Amino acid sequence: MRVAWFGWVITSLQPSAQPRAAYKGTSLAKEELIEFEGVVSEALPDNRFRVQLENGVEIWAYASGKMQKHRIRILAGDRVKLEMSPYDLTKGRINYRHK
C-alpha cells in the first residue's frame, strides 16, 4: 500500500474497493426537522429573535433565507412557525410569519 503525505493529511494512493459510480444512487438519510409555533418576544440584532414557544420554552431563532430575501419584517408580538433540529433544541429557524 502506497501512502502519500500532504501536510498533516495521510492519504492512500490505492483506489477504493468500490468505484464512485457504486455510491451515485445512494443518499444518506436527511435529519427530520421539528416544527413549532410561537410568539416573538424580542427582536435581537443581526436578524435574530427570542421566541416564546407554545409550551413555554424560550429559544433563539433567525429568519430563514427566503424570508430575508423577500424582506419579510418580523416584529415583537408576531406569531411565527419555526423549525428546529432534534440535536439542538435551543435554536431554530423561522420559516413563516402568520398574518
pLDDT, tens only, 46-82: 999 999 999 999 999 999 999 999 999 999 999 999 9
Domain ranges of the chain: 34-97
Q: Is residue 27 predicted with pLDDT exceeding 80?
A: no
> Is the overall model pTM greater than 0.85, yes or no?
no
Q: Which residues pair with 91 in a beta bridge?
A: 60
SS3 67: helix
Mean per-residue pLDDT, 82-89: 94
pLDDT (0 to 100) of residue 99: 85
At the fourth CATH level, the homologous superfamily of domain 34-97 is: Nucleic acid-binding proteins (2.40.50.140)
* Whether pLDDT at 11 is above 60: no
